[in-house]
Structure 1
Amino acid sequence: MTPIDAPLDLLVVAPHPDDAELSVGGIILKSISQGKRVGVVELTDGEPTPHGTPAGRKEETAQATKTLGLHWRHQLDLPNRKLENSLSARRKLAEVFRLTKPQILLAPYWEDSHPDHVAASALIDAARFWSKLSRTDMAGERFHPPKIFYFWSIHLRIHPKPTFVVDVTDFIDQKMAAVACYKSQVVSGRGEAHPTLMDDVKDRARFWGWTIERGYAEPLLSREEIRIDDLSTLL
Protein backbone atom coordinates (compact mmCIF):
# COMPACT_ATOMS: atom_id res chain seq x y z
CA MET A 1 0.00 0.00 0.00
CA THR A 2 1.11 3.57 -0.62
CA PRO A 3 3.03 4.62 2.53
CA ILE A 4 1.31 7.05 4.88
CA ASP A 5 3.08 9.11 7.55
CA ALA A 6 0.09 10.23 9.66
CA PRO A 7 -3.63 9.41 10.04
CA LEU A 8 -6.15 11.05 7.73
CA ASP A 9 -8.96 13.36 8.75
CA LEU A 10 -10.97 12.61 5.61
CA LEU A 11 -10.82 9.65 3.22
CA VAL A 12 -12.83 9.56 0.00
CA VAL A 13 -13.47 6.04 -1.31
CA ALA A 14 -14.09 6.21 -5.06
CA PRO A 15 -15.08 3.32 -7.34
CA HIS A 16 -12.97 4.73 -10.21
CA PRO A 17 -10.40 7.46 -10.85
CA ASP A 18 -12.27 10.80 -11.33
CA ASP A 19 -15.26 9.89 -9.12
CA ALA A 20 -13.80 11.77 -6.15
CA GLU A 21 -13.11 14.90 -8.18
CA LEU A 22 -16.48 14.86 -9.94
CA SER A 23 -18.54 14.33 -6.79
CA VAL A 24 -16.69 15.94 -3.88
CA GLY A 25 -13.71 17.76 -5.39
CA GLY A 26 -14.82 21.01 -3.74
CA ILE A 27 -15.18 19.38 -0.32
CA ILE A 28 -11.69 17.88 -0.69
CA LEU A 29 -10.20 21.27 -1.53
CA LYS A 30 -12.07 23.07 1.24
CA SER A 31 -11.04 20.48 3.82
CA ILE A 32 -7.37 20.79 2.81
CA SER A 33 -7.61 24.60 3.05
CA GLN A 34 -8.84 24.15 6.63
CA GLY A 35 -5.74 22.16 7.55
CA LYS A 36 -7.30 18.70 7.26
CA ARG A 37 -5.32 15.71 6.02
CA VAL A 38 -7.24 14.29 3.06
CA GLY A 39 -6.78 11.12 1.02
CA VAL A 40 -8.47 9.21 -1.78
CA VAL A 41 -8.54 5.47 -2.38
CA GLU A 42 -9.82 4.18 -5.72
CA LEU A 43 -11.20 0.67 -5.80
CA THR A 44 -10.43 0.10 -9.52
CA ASP A 45 -8.35 1.67 -12.31
CA GLY A 46 -11.53 2.45 -14.26
CA GLU A 47 -10.43 0.67 -17.42
CA PRO A 48 -11.40 -0.23 -20.06
CA THR A 49 -13.18 2.90 -21.29
CA PRO A 50 -13.73 4.15 -24.87
CA HIS A 51 -10.93 6.72 -24.82
CA GLY A 52 -8.79 5.71 -21.85
CA THR A 53 -5.83 3.43 -21.25
CA PRO A 54 -4.40 2.16 -17.94
CA ALA A 55 -1.25 4.24 -18.44
CA GLY A 56 -3.21 7.30 -19.48
CA ARG A 57 -5.59 7.06 -16.54
CA LYS A 58 -2.63 6.73 -14.18
CA GLU A 59 -1.13 9.96 -15.54
CA GLU A 60 -4.48 11.77 -15.38
CA THR A 61 -4.90 10.69 -11.76
CA ALA A 62 -1.41 11.93 -10.91
CA GLN A 63 -2.22 15.33 -12.43
CA ALA A 64 -5.52 15.55 -10.55
CA THR A 65 -3.81 14.56 -7.29
CA LYS A 66 -1.34 17.40 -7.72
CA THR A 67 -4.12 19.86 -8.56
CA LEU A 68 -6.05 18.90 -5.42
CA GLY A 69 -2.99 18.80 -3.17
CA LEU A 70 -3.96 15.46 -1.62
CA HIS A 71 -1.92 14.11 1.27
CA TRP A 72 -2.35 10.49 0.18
CA ARG A 73 -3.77 8.47 -2.71
CA HIS A 74 -3.91 4.75 -3.39
CA GLN A 75 -5.57 2.32 -5.79
CA LEU A 76 -6.71 -1.16 -4.76
CA ASP A 77 -6.76 -2.60 -8.32
CA LEU A 78 -10.06 -4.41 -7.88
CA PRO A 79 -11.74 -5.40 -11.19
CA ASN A 80 -13.49 -2.58 -13.03
CA ARG A 81 -17.02 -3.40 -14.29
CA LYS A 82 -16.95 -6.50 -12.06
CA LEU A 83 -16.67 -4.88 -8.64
CA GLU A 84 -18.18 -6.99 -5.86
CA ASN A 85 -18.54 -6.85 -2.11
CA SER A 86 -16.41 -9.98 -1.83
CA LEU A 87 -14.55 -11.15 1.26
CA SER A 88 -11.16 -10.52 -0.35
CA ALA A 89 -12.14 -7.00 -1.44
CA ARG A 90 -13.59 -6.30 2.01
CA ARG A 91 -10.32 -7.32 3.63
CA LYS A 92 -8.22 -5.10 1.35
CA LEU A 93 -10.35 -2.04 2.03
CA ALA A 94 -10.61 -2.73 5.77
CA GLU A 95 -6.81 -2.78 5.93
CA VAL A 96 -6.76 0.64 4.25
CA PHE A 97 -9.06 1.97 6.98
CA ARG A 98 -6.93 0.41 9.73
CA LEU A 99 -3.72 1.90 8.33
CA THR A 100 -5.02 5.38 7.41
CA LYS A 101 -7.39 5.77 10.40
CA PRO A 102 -9.73 8.36 8.81
CA GLN A 103 -12.12 10.26 11.06
CA ILE A 104 -14.60 10.70 8.19
CA LEU A 105 -15.31 8.49 5.19
CA LEU A 106 -16.99 9.76 2.03
CA ALA A 107 -18.61 6.96 0.01
CA PRO A 108 -20.88 6.60 -3.04
CA TYR A 109 -24.62 6.66 -2.38
CA TRP A 110 -26.05 3.13 -2.35
CA GLU A 111 -28.44 3.67 -5.30
CA ASP A 112 -26.93 4.34 -8.73
CA SER A 113 -27.30 3.24 -12.34
CA HIS A 114 -23.65 2.13 -12.39
CA PRO A 115 -23.33 -1.35 -10.81
CA ASP A 116 -19.78 -0.60 -9.62
CA HIS A 117 -21.06 2.33 -7.55
CA VAL A 118 -23.76 0.21 -5.93
CA ALA A 119 -21.25 -2.54 -5.15
CA ALA A 120 -18.74 0.02 -3.87
CA SER A 121 -21.22 1.47 -1.38
CA ALA A 122 -21.98 -1.97 0.09
CA LEU A 123 -18.29 -2.85 0.12
CA ILE A 124 -17.36 0.31 2.01
CA ASP A 125 -20.05 -0.25 4.65
CA ALA A 126 -18.86 -3.83 5.16
CA ALA A 127 -15.17 -2.89 5.26
CA ARG A 128 -15.88 -0.17 7.79
CA PHE A 129 -17.33 -2.83 10.09
CA TRP A 130 -14.52 -5.29 9.41
CA SER A 131 -11.86 -2.71 10.20
CA LYS A 132 -12.87 -2.74 13.88
CA LEU A 133 -12.68 -6.52 14.30
CA SER A 134 -10.28 -7.99 16.84
CA ARG A 135 -8.55 -11.38 16.68
CA THR A 136 -7.82 -11.08 12.96
CA ASP A 137 -4.71 -11.34 10.82
CA MET A 138 -5.50 -8.14 8.91
CA ALA A 139 -2.74 -5.52 8.77
CA GLY A 140 -2.95 -2.58 11.14
CA GLU A 141 -4.62 -2.03 14.49
CA ARG A 142 -8.40 -2.36 14.76
CA PHE A 143 -10.13 0.91 13.94
CA HIS A 144 -13.68 2.03 13.21
CA PRO A 145 -14.03 5.25 11.16
CA PRO A 146 -16.38 7.36 13.32
CA LYS A 147 -18.41 8.95 10.53
CA ILE A 148 -19.46 8.06 7.00
CA PHE A 149 -21.28 10.35 4.57
CA TYR A 150 -22.50 9.52 1.09
CA PHE A 151 -22.10 11.45 -2.16
CA TRP A 152 -23.80 11.21 -5.55
CA SER A 153 -22.13 10.48 -8.86
CA ILE A 154 -22.94 11.98 -12.26
CA HIS A 155 -24.99 8.86 -13.14
CA LEU A 156 -27.82 9.56 -10.69
CA ARG A 157 -30.27 12.16 -12.01
CA ILE A 158 -32.85 12.11 -9.21
CA HIS A 159 -31.35 12.69 -5.77
CA PRO A 160 -32.84 12.15 -2.32
CA LYS A 161 -32.78 15.09 0.04
CA PRO A 162 -29.23 15.56 1.40
CA THR A 163 -28.49 15.76 5.10
CA PHE A 164 -26.35 18.85 4.56
CA VAL A 165 -24.81 20.87 1.73
CA VAL A 166 -21.25 22.22 1.78
CA ASP A 167 -20.44 25.63 0.32
CA VAL A 168 -17.52 25.19 -2.13
CA THR A 169 -17.82 28.53 -3.94
CA ASP A 170 -14.20 29.50 -3.29
CA PHE A 171 -12.96 26.21 -4.74
CA ILE A 172 -15.13 25.66 -7.82
CA ASP A 173 -12.46 26.74 -10.34
CA GLN A 174 -9.84 24.47 -8.78
CA LYS A 175 -12.37 21.60 -8.64
CA MET A 176 -13.08 22.02 -12.34
CA ALA A 177 -9.35 22.10 -13.07
CA ALA A 178 -8.98 18.79 -11.24
CA VAL A 179 -11.91 17.27 -13.17
CA ALA A 180 -10.40 18.51 -16.44
CA CYS A 181 -7.27 16.45 -15.75
CA TYR A 182 -9.35 13.40 -16.75
CA LYS A 183 -9.47 14.40 -20.40
CA SER A 184 -10.10 10.83 -21.60
CA GLN A 185 -13.28 10.68 -19.52
CA VAL A 186 -14.77 14.18 -19.62
CA VAL A 187 -13.55 15.66 -22.93
CA SER A 188 -12.38 13.08 -25.48
CA GLY A 189 -15.12 11.89 -27.83
CA ARG A 190 -17.83 14.00 -26.19
CA GLY A 191 -18.00 16.90 -28.63
CA GLU A 192 -17.80 20.62 -27.88
CA ALA A 193 -21.46 21.60 -28.17
CA HIS A 194 -22.88 23.32 -25.09
CA PRO A 195 -23.69 21.94 -22.59
CA THR A 196 -20.70 19.66 -22.27
CA LEU A 197 -20.11 17.19 -19.43
CA MET A 198 -17.88 19.82 -17.82
CA ASP A 199 -20.80 22.27 -17.97
CA ASP A 200 -23.08 19.67 -16.39
CA VAL A 201 -20.68 19.11 -13.48
CA LYS A 202 -20.40 22.82 -12.76
CA ASP A 203 -24.14 23.39 -13.19
CA ARG A 204 -24.93 20.73 -10.61
CA ALA A 205 -22.64 22.47 -8.14
CA ARG A 206 -24.39 25.74 -8.99
CA PHE A 207 -27.78 24.16 -8.28
CA TRP A 208 -26.70 22.96 -4.85
CA GLY A 209 -25.20 26.37 -4.17
CA TRP A 210 -28.55 27.94 -5.03
CA THR A 211 -30.29 25.72 -2.45
CA ILE A 212 -28.20 27.27 0.35
CA GLU A 213 -27.97 30.79 -1.14
CA ARG A 214 -24.33 30.42 -2.09
CA GLY A 215 -22.48 30.26 -5.39
CA TYR A 216 -21.56 26.57 -5.60
CA ALA A 217 -21.94 23.60 -3.24
CA GLU A 218 -21.80 19.82 -2.90
CA PRO A 219 -24.36 17.66 -1.04
CA LEU A 220 -23.78 14.80 1.40
CA LEU A 221 -26.15 12.37 3.09
CA SER A 222 -25.92 10.53 6.41
CA ARG A 223 -27.76 7.39 7.52
CA GLU A 224 -26.57 7.92 11.09
CA GLU A 225 -27.46 10.63 13.56
CA ILE A 226 -25.15 13.64 13.69
CA ARG A 227 -24.37 15.21 17.06
CA ILE A 228 -24.45 19.02 17.21
CA ASP A 229 -23.05 20.72 20.33
CA ASP A 230 -23.44 24.32 19.17
CA LEU A 231 -26.36 25.35 16.97
CA SER A 232 -24.36 28.33 15.73
CA THR A 233 -22.23 25.93 13.68
CA LEU A 234 -25.30 25.48 11.47
CA LEU A 235 -25.46 29.17 10.54
Structure 2
Amino acid sequence: MDTPRSLDALVVSPHPDDAELGMGGTILRLIRRGWTVGILDLTSGEPTPLGSVATRRRETAEANALLGNPWRENLGLPNRSLEPTLEHRRALAAVFRKVRPRLLFAPFWEDAHPDHSAATKLVEDARFWSKLSKSDIPGEPFHPSRILYYFSVHLKIVERPSFVVDVSDQHEEKLAALRCYRSQLVDNQPEGRPGVIDSVADRTRFWGHVVGVRHAEPFASREPIGLAGLGDLLL
Protein backbone atom coordinates (compact mmCIF):
# COMPACT_ATOMS: atom_id res chain seq x y z
CA MET A 1 0.00 0.00 0.00
CA ASP A 2 1.39 3.41 -0.98
CA THR A 3 2.47 5.61 1.91
CA PRO A 4 0.41 8.82 2.08
CA ARG A 5 2.19 12.17 2.22
CA SER A 6 0.07 13.08 5.25
CA LEU A 7 -2.85 11.66 7.20
CA ASP A 8 -5.76 13.37 8.87
CA ALA A 9 -5.77 10.65 11.53
CA LEU A 10 -3.60 7.70 12.54
CA VAL A 11 -4.98 4.96 14.78
CA VAL A 12 -2.24 3.18 16.72
CA SER A 13 -3.32 -0.34 17.65
CA PRO A 14 -1.37 -2.63 20.02
CA HIS A 15 -2.55 -5.71 18.10
CA PRO A 16 -4.45 -6.28 14.88
CA ASP A 17 -8.16 -6.06 15.80
CA ASP A 18 -7.86 -3.42 18.56
CA ALA A 19 -8.53 -0.56 16.14
CA GLU A 20 -11.68 -2.30 14.88
CA LEU A 21 -12.82 -3.23 18.39
CA GLY A 22 -12.39 0.26 19.82
CA MET A 23 -13.31 2.54 16.93
CA GLY A 24 -14.13 0.61 13.77
CA GLY A 25 -17.32 2.58 13.28
CA THR A 26 -15.54 5.90 13.66
CA ILE A 27 -12.87 4.85 11.16
CA LEU A 28 -15.60 4.07 8.63
CA ARG A 29 -17.37 7.34 9.36
CA LEU A 30 -14.22 9.44 8.99
CA ILE A 31 -13.23 7.81 5.71
CA ARG A 32 -16.70 8.42 4.28
CA ARG A 33 -16.41 12.06 5.26
CA GLY A 34 -13.26 12.36 3.16
CA TRP A 35 -10.62 11.96 5.86
CA THR A 36 -7.37 10.21 5.08
CA VAL A 37 -7.05 7.63 7.84
CA GLY A 38 -4.27 5.17 8.67
CA ILE A 39 -3.88 2.27 11.10
CA LEU A 40 -0.55 1.24 12.57
CA ASP A 41 -0.56 -2.14 14.30
CA LEU A 42 2.36 -2.30 16.71
CA THR A 43 2.64 -6.11 16.94
CA SER A 44 1.50 -9.21 15.09
CA GLY A 45 -0.70 -10.19 18.03
CA GLU A 46 0.71 -13.71 17.91
CA PRO A 47 1.00 -16.33 19.33
CA THR A 48 -2.60 -17.01 20.26
CA PRO A 49 -4.42 -20.35 20.86
CA LEU A 50 -6.02 -20.60 17.41
CA GLY A 51 -4.01 -18.10 15.40
CA SER A 52 -0.74 -17.76 13.54
CA VAL A 53 1.15 -14.86 12.02
CA ALA A 54 -0.09 -15.80 8.54
CA THR A 55 -3.68 -16.23 9.74
CA ARG A 56 -3.70 -12.89 11.54
CA ARG A 57 -2.18 -11.15 8.53
CA ARG A 58 -4.95 -12.53 6.30
CA GLU A 59 -7.66 -11.63 8.80
CA THR A 60 -6.29 -8.09 9.11
CA ALA A 61 -6.32 -7.60 5.34
CA GLU A 62 -9.93 -8.79 5.12
CA ALA A 63 -11.03 -6.53 7.97
CA ASN A 64 -9.16 -3.57 6.53
CA ALA A 65 -10.91 -3.98 3.19
CA LEU A 66 -14.28 -3.74 4.96
CA LEU A 67 -13.14 -0.53 6.68
CA GLY A 68 -12.51 1.09 3.29
CA ASN A 69 -8.84 0.14 2.88
CA PRO A 70 -7.18 2.80 5.01
CA TRP A 71 -3.37 2.87 4.87
CA ARG A 72 -2.17 0.17 7.23
CA GLU A 73 1.19 -1.18 8.34
CA ASN A 74 2.60 -3.31 11.15
CA LEU A 75 5.59 -2.01 13.10
CA GLY A 76 6.68 -5.54 14.04
CA LEU A 77 7.26 -4.94 17.76
CA PRO A 78 7.16 -7.93 20.14
CA ASN A 79 3.73 -9.18 21.17
CA ARG A 80 3.18 -9.94 24.88
CA SER A 81 6.34 -8.01 25.78
CA LEU A 82 5.68 -4.62 24.25
CA GLU A 83 7.52 -1.92 26.18
CA PRO A 84 7.95 1.84 25.69
CA THR A 85 11.71 1.55 25.21
CA LEU A 86 13.87 4.19 23.55
CA GLU A 87 14.32 1.92 20.54
CA HIS A 88 10.58 1.44 20.10
CA ARG A 89 9.94 5.14 20.70
CA ARG A 90 12.36 6.05 17.91
CA ALA A 91 10.74 3.58 15.50
CA LEU A 92 7.26 4.96 16.17
CA ALA A 93 8.41 8.58 15.96
CA ALA A 94 9.85 7.79 12.53
CA VAL A 95 6.41 6.56 11.40
CA PHE A 96 4.80 9.77 12.68
CA ARG A 97 7.30 11.75 10.62
CA LYS A 98 6.60 9.61 7.58
CA VAL A 99 2.79 9.80 7.53
CA ARG A 100 2.47 13.13 9.43
CA PRO A 101 -0.97 12.65 11.06
CA ARG A 102 -2.78 15.70 12.39
CA LEU A 103 -4.66 13.54 14.90
CA LEU A 104 -3.52 10.45 16.79
CA PHE A 105 -5.75 7.80 18.34
CA ALA A 106 -4.21 5.64 21.07
CA PRO A 107 -5.60 3.01 23.46
CA PHE A 108 -7.10 4.28 26.71
CA TRP A 109 -4.31 4.76 29.23
CA GLU A 110 -5.65 2.37 31.90
CA ASP A 111 -5.84 -1.33 31.05
CA ALA A 112 -5.17 -4.76 32.48
CA HIS A 113 -3.33 -5.80 29.31
CA PRO A 114 0.32 -4.69 29.66
CA ASP A 115 0.69 -4.32 25.88
CA HIS A 116 -2.16 -1.80 25.81
CA SER A 117 -0.88 0.45 28.59
CA ALA A 118 2.64 0.20 27.12
CA ALA A 119 1.28 1.20 23.71
CA THR A 120 -0.33 4.31 25.16
CA LYS A 121 2.89 5.41 26.84
CA LEU A 122 4.80 4.67 23.65
CA VAL A 123 2.46 6.81 21.53
CA GLU A 124 2.67 9.74 23.95
CA ASP A 125 6.48 9.57 24.14
CA ALA A 126 6.96 9.10 20.39
CA ARG A 127 4.68 12.05 19.66
CA PHE A 128 7.05 14.25 21.68
CA TRP A 129 10.18 12.80 20.08
CA SER A 130 8.73 13.19 16.59
CA LYS A 131 9.05 16.98 16.82
CA LEU A 132 12.68 17.06 17.97
CA SER A 133 15.30 18.70 15.79
CA LYS A 134 18.96 17.62 15.82
CA SER A 135 18.04 13.96 16.27
CA ASP A 136 18.89 10.78 14.37
CA ILE A 137 15.21 9.94 13.79
CA PRO A 138 14.54 9.59 10.04
CA GLY A 139 12.38 12.26 8.45
CA GLU A 140 11.57 15.88 9.13
CA PRO A 141 10.38 16.92 12.60
CA PHE A 142 6.61 16.76 13.00
CA HIS A 143 4.25 17.11 15.95
CA PRO A 144 0.72 15.60 15.76
CA SER A 145 -1.59 18.23 17.18
CA ARG A 146 -3.67 16.02 19.48
CA ILE A 147 -4.08 12.53 20.92
CA LEU A 148 -7.52 11.03 21.53
CA TYR A 149 -8.01 7.70 23.28
CA TYR A 150 -10.29 4.85 22.26
CA PHE A 151 -11.52 1.99 24.46
CA SER A 152 -10.44 -1.58 23.73
CA VAL A 153 -9.86 -2.55 27.33
CA HIS A 154 -9.51 -5.77 29.32
CA LEU A 155 -10.94 -4.22 32.49
CA LYS A 156 -14.53 -4.81 33.53
CA ILE A 157 -15.35 -1.12 33.81
CA VAL A 158 -17.91 1.32 32.49
CA GLU A 159 -15.99 3.79 30.37
CA ARG A 160 -16.00 7.46 31.36
CA PRO A 161 -15.55 9.14 27.98
CA SER A 162 -14.97 12.78 27.13
CA PHE A 163 -17.26 12.42 24.10
CA VAL A 164 -18.94 9.74 21.99
CA VAL A 165 -19.36 9.43 18.22
CA ASP A 166 -22.60 8.32 16.57
CA VAL A 167 -21.79 5.18 14.56
CA SER A 168 -25.33 3.91 14.07
CA ASP A 169 -24.97 3.80 10.28
CA GLN A 170 -21.60 2.04 10.52
CA HIS A 171 -22.51 -0.52 13.20
CA GLU A 172 -23.21 -3.55 11.00
CA GLU A 173 -20.11 -2.95 8.91
CA LYS A 174 -18.01 -2.69 12.06
CA LEU A 175 -19.34 -6.06 13.23
CA ALA A 176 -18.58 -7.56 9.81
CA ALA A 177 -14.98 -6.31 10.09
CA LEU A 178 -14.70 -7.85 13.56
CA ARG A 179 -15.95 -11.21 12.29
CA CYS A 180 -12.98 -11.28 9.91
CA TYR A 181 -10.84 -12.01 12.96
CA ARG A 182 -12.24 -15.53 13.24
CA SER A 183 -9.27 -16.95 15.14
CA GLN A 184 -9.63 -14.30 17.84
CA LEU A 185 -13.27 -13.26 18.02
CA VAL A 186 -15.37 -16.09 16.55
CA ASP A 187 -13.86 -19.57 16.79
CA ASN A 188 -12.48 -19.22 20.31
CA GLN A 189 -15.57 -17.78 22.04
CA PRO A 190 -17.33 -19.67 24.85
CA GLU A 191 -20.49 -21.56 23.93
CA GLY A 192 -23.69 -20.36 25.52
CA ARG A 193 -22.14 -17.11 26.81
CA PRO A 194 -21.74 -13.66 25.27
CA GLY A 195 -18.51 -13.30 23.31
CA VAL A 196 -16.30 -10.32 22.58
CA ILE A 197 -18.33 -9.15 19.59
CA ASP A 198 -21.53 -9.37 21.65
CA SER A 199 -19.88 -7.24 24.34
CA VAL A 200 -18.77 -4.65 21.80
CA ALA A 201 -22.29 -4.40 20.36
CA ASP A 202 -23.78 -4.04 23.85
CA ARG A 203 -21.33 -1.28 24.73
CA THR A 204 -21.98 0.74 21.57
CA ARG A 205 -25.72 0.27 22.12
CA PHE A 206 -25.37 1.57 25.69
CA TRP A 207 -23.45 4.68 24.64
CA GLY A 208 -25.87 5.25 21.80
CA HIS A 209 -28.73 5.12 24.30
CA VAL A 210 -26.97 7.68 26.50
CA VAL A 211 -26.85 10.25 23.66
CA GLY A 212 -30.10 9.30 21.92
CA VAL A 213 -28.86 7.28 18.93
CA ARG A 214 -28.69 3.54 18.21
CA HIS A 215 -24.92 3.00 18.53
CA ALA A 216 -22.00 5.19 19.57
CA GLU A 217 -18.29 4.75 20.33
CA PRO A 218 -16.71 6.43 23.39
CA PHE A 219 -13.45 8.39 23.41
CA ALA A 220 -11.38 10.10 26.08
CA SER A 221 -9.04 13.08 26.07
CA ARG A 222 -6.47 14.18 28.63
CA GLU A 223 -6.79 17.78 27.43
CA PRO A 224 -9.75 20.11 26.81
CA ILE A 225 -11.32 19.81 23.37
CA GLY A 226 -12.04 22.98 21.42
CA LEU A 227 -15.16 23.29 19.25
CA ALA A 228 -15.65 25.65 16.31
CA GLY A 229 -19.37 25.58 17.01
CA LEU A 230 -22.23 23.58 18.49
CA GLY A 231 -23.80 22.48 15.21
CA ASP A 232 -22.71 18.86 15.49
CA LEU A 233 -23.76 18.33 19.09
CA LEU A 234 -26.51 15.77 19.67
CA LEU A 235 -28.93 17.74 21.84
Q: Normalising by the residue count of structure 2, what TM-score does the alignment of the two structures yield?
A: 0.96
More displaced stretch, 85-94 vs 222-231: 222-231
Q: Which shifted more, 135-144 or 58-67? A: 135-144
Residue number in structure 1 paired with 2:9:
10
**Contact 1:113/1:156 (<8 A) preserved:** yes
Q: 2:4 touches 2:71 (CA, 8 Å); kept in 1? A: no
**CA–CA distance in structure 1, aligned partners of residues 125 and 210 of structure 2:** 33
Q: Structure 2 CA distance, aligned partners of 1:197 and 1:229?
A: 37
For 2:112 and 2:59, locate their aligned partners in 1 and report how far apart those are by CA, in whole Å. Answer: 25
Percent of residue pairs identical: 53
Residues matched between the structures, number: 234
Report the Cα distance in structure 2 between the residues aligned to 1:210 and 1:150, rounded to whole angstroms: 21
Change beyond 3 A, Cα 1:208–1:48? same
In structure 2, the residue matched to 1:196 is 195
Name 1:127's counterpart in structure 2: 126
Output the CA distance in 2 between the equivalents of 1:70 and 1:8. Answer: 14
Is 2:218 the counterpart of 1:219? yes
SS at match of 1:119: helix
C-alpha contact 1:38 1:70 (8 A) present in aligned 2 = no
User: Is the CA contact (8 Å cut-off) linking 1:154 and 1:201 kept in structure 2?
Assistant: no
> Which amino acid is 2:211 matched to?
I
In 1, are the aligned partners of 2:12 and 2:106 still within 8 Å (CA)? Answer: yes
Structure 1: give runs of 5+ residues left out of the alignment: none
Question: For structure 2, which runs of at least 5 residues remain unmatched after alignment?
Answer: none
Q: What's the offset of the Cα at 1:6? A: 2.8
Deviations 1:27-79 (A, max 9, x none): 10000010001110011000011111000000000101111113300101100
1:228 maps to amino acid = L
- Where does 1:154-173 land on structure 2 (aligned, <5 Å)? 154-173=153-172
Aligned mates of 1:159, 1:9 — CA distance in 2:
29
Residue by residue over 1:67-119, the C-alpha shift from the partner in whole angstroms, topping out at 9 and shown as x without a partner, is 11133001011000000000010001001111111111110111101000010
- Secondary structure (helix, strand or coil) at the match of 2:214 reads coil
Q: Which residue of 2 aligns with 1:229?
A: 228
Q: Which residue of 1 aligns with 2:175?
A: 176
What secondary structure, in the 3-state scheme, does the structure 1 residue paired with 2:51 have? Answer: coil
> d(CA) in 2 for partners of 1:180 and 1:202?
12
Q: How does 1:116-155 map to 2 (within 5 A)?
A: 116-155=115-154
**How far off its partner does 1:139 sit?**
1.4
Residues 1:75 and 2:74 are matched in the alignment: yes
Measured in 2, the distance between the counterparts of 1:4 and 1:197 equals 32
Q: Which moved more, 1:51-60 or 1:195-204?
A: 195-204
Distance 1:229 1:191 in 2: 46
**1:233 Cα shift?**
3.4
